[in-house]
């Protein structure tokens, strides 16, 4: 390994470090006047003027309208990050489509288009490239202000700086090789992460997680998935698979989960099981013929239409979930739980029973502090999460380890 301390520091790299420092200061503490930046960094006025000039020129930074009178004569407008001028391209990969967007650092989606895509390797690769090229065409950021191409994939594990690990059951996504094919054609960095992780980052930065410090996102879409965000940074665990909420062991079942256990929450909340419980409930109260339900979402719909048995089945599932999440919320000192997917579909059907049941599993004080909210941004949260992740890297203070 080369000894970094022996490497000569060129003026250019020193300038880059200073530019990074000033940009980060404006991001974390701004708006800041040039004089304030000078006081913090002790940089010479000449160096400071040059760097601020470059940042203004690139459009990354703008002067605010506010005029601060300084004690040293000239009145200067403080500088702020020009969030609407910096952004990313985001590609969300779903089993049936690719959703492409151009998103700025305010979290505003400037352009969005969905591409119906059959889940085969060739079709998927072809549409990924097409979606990326269309988004590149549509983005209006200056070249240096397009920070990242972020790709959301289901069923992957990702650790910064490490290759993607694919869930053994994700099949096709590993073969598509989204990161590799985009890196071959893109001129800016490409990163890949799992959908829940990026959704959670998006909710914390721009949605229902705003103001939270430790936020857990739980989604239910046939299976349960989760992500944990600690003040804007993802908590990934040793393998990148943190918050495998669906594999929380609840109690023995007669089936085995994909993970090899026979009692995971995913089995207890499996769509077939929800339907089966509803049918049993119906048969126990009446001999009348019942609707032949094949999609568990219909049970959620019925519960919303005052079908008492449907409501009871879902309340039981919500209670199971609360019994697992409650202790986790206590251990990790979570202050916000965001429910997405079917958990947020009808708040009185899942969210309210879940919140009510949590009372049994967290202390009174923690219960008062713990907020449970429906996801605010839907799937587009992942687009905004790409912007949030890119901003975290781009504006990291120079001493941080950053991934590019
Ligand atoms: Zn499992």
pLDDT in tens, 285-294: 988 889 999 9
Q: Which CATH class is domain 87-203+382-394?
A: alpha beta
Bond preceding residue 31 cis, omega within 30 of 0: yes
Q: Say how far apart CA 255 and CA 205 lie, in whole Å.
A: 39
Predicted pLDDT of residue 16: 79
Cα of 256 from ligand 1 centre, angstroms: 8
- The architecture (CATH level 2) of 209-376 comes to 2-Layer Sandwich (3.30)
Task: Write down the domain spans for the chain.
Answer: 4-81, 87-203+382-394, 209-376
Cα of 133 from ligand 1 centre, angstroms: 38
Cα of 243 from ligand 1 centre, angstroms: 12
Cα of 316 from ligand 1 centre, angstroms: 19
Structure token digits, residue 42: 């002790």
What is the sign, positive or negative, of the torsion defined by CA atoms of 341, 229, 386, 87? positive
Cα of 240 from ligand 1 centre, angstroms: 16
Cα of 295 from ligand 1 centre, angstroms: 22
The number of C-alpha atoms within 13 Å of 347 and in the hemisphere containing its C-beta is: 7
Cα of 262 from ligand 1 centre, angstroms: 7
Cα of 385 from ligand 1 centre, angstroms: 27
Walk along the chain (404 residues) and give the pLDDT tens digit of each residue.
444 444 444 445 667 788 889 999 999 998 998 889 999 989 888 889 999 999 999 999 999 877 655 555 555 789 999 999 999 999 999 888 999 999 999 999 999 999 998 888 899 899 999 999 999 999 999 988 999 999 998 866 666 666 666 655 555 677 788 888 999 999 999 998 889 999 999 999 999 999 999 999 999 988 899 999 999 999 988 877 788 899 999 999 888 888 888 999 999 999 999 999 999 999 999 888 899 999 999 999 999 998 999 999 999 999 999 999 999 999 999 999 999 999 998 778 999 999 999 999 999 999 999 999 999 998 899 999 999 999 999 998 765 444 44
The reply to whether 209-376 shares the fold of 4-81 is no
Burial status of residue 182 (CB atoms within 10 A of its CB: 0-12, 13-18, 19 or more): buried
Return the beta strands (E) in 177-255 as ranges.
Answer: 190-194, 214-221, 223-230, 233-235
Is the domain spanning 4-81 CATH 1.10.10.10? The answer is yes
Structure token digits, residue 232: 């804007």
Cα of 248 from ligand 1 centre, angstroms: 7
- Other C-beta atoms lying within 10 Å of the C-beta of residue 112: 16
The 3-state DSSP class for residue 132 equals helix
Q: How many helices (H) and strands (E) in the chain?
A: 15, 14
Predicted pLDDT of residue 168: 53
**DSSP secondary structure, 345-373, as one string:** HSIIIIIHHHHHHHTTTS-HHHHHH-EEE
- Do the Cβ atoms of 314 and 299 come closer than 8 Å? yes
Terminal-to-terminal C-alpha distance of the chain = 20
Cα of 61 from ligand 1 centre, angstroms: 48
The residue among 40, 54, 76 whose CA lies nearest residue 397 is 40
Predicted pLDDT of residue 153: 86
What is the pairing mode between strands 214-221 and 223-230?
A: antiparallel
Predicted pLDDT of residue 96: 85
Q: Say how far apart CA 291 and CA 308 lie, in whole Å.
A: 15
């Amino acid at each position: 390994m080369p000894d970094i301390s022996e490497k000569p520091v060129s003026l250019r790299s020193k300038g880059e470090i200073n530019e990074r420092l000033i940009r980060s200061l404006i991001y974390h503490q701004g708006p800041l006047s040039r004089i304030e930046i000078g006081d913090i960094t002790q940089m010479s006025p000449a160096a400071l003027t040059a760097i601020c000039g470059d940042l203004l020129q690139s459009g990354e930074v703008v002067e605010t309208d506010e005029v601060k009178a300084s004690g040293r004569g000239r009145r200067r407008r403080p500088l702020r990050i020009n969030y609407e001028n910096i952004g990313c391209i985001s590609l969300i990969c779903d089993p049936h489509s690719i959703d492409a967007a151009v998103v700025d650092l305010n979290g505003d989606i400037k352009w969005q288009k969905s591409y119906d895509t059959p889940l085969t390797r060739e079709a998927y690769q072809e549409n990924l490239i097409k979606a990326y090229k269309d988004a590149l065409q549509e983005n209006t950021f200056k070249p240096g202000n397009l920070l990242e191409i972020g790709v959301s994939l289901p069923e992957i594990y990702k650790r910064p700086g490490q290759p993607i690990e694919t869930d053994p059951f994700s099949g096709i996504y590993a073969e598509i090789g989204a990161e590799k094919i985009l890196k071959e054609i893109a001129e800016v960095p490409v990163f890949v992460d799992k959908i829940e992780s990026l959704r959670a980052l998006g909710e914390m930065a721009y949605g229902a997680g705003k103001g939270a410090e430790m936020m857990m996102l739980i989604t239910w879409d046939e299976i349960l998935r989760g992500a944990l965000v600690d003040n804007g940074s993802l908590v990934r665990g040793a393998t990148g698979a943190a918050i495998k909420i669906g594999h929380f062991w609840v109690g023995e079942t007669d089936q085995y989960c994909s993970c090899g256990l026979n009692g995971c929450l995913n089995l207890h909340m499996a769509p077939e099981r929800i339907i089966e419980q509803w049918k049993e409930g119906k048969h126990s109260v009446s001999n009348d013929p019942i609707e032949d339900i094949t999609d568990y979402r219909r049970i959620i719909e019925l519960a919303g239409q005052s079908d008492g048995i449907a409501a009871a089945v879902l309340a039981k599932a919500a209670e199971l979930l609360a019994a697992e999440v409650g202790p986790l919320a206590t251990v990790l000192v979570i202050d916000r739980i965001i429910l997405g997917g079917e958990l947020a579909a009808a708040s009185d059907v899942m969210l309210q029973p879940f919140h009510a049941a949590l009372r049994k599993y967290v202390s009174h004080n923690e219960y008062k502090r713990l907020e449970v909210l429906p996801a605010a941004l839907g799937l587009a949260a992942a687009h905004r999460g790409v912007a949030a992740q890119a901003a975290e890297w781009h504006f990291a203070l120079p001493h941080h380890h950053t991934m590019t």
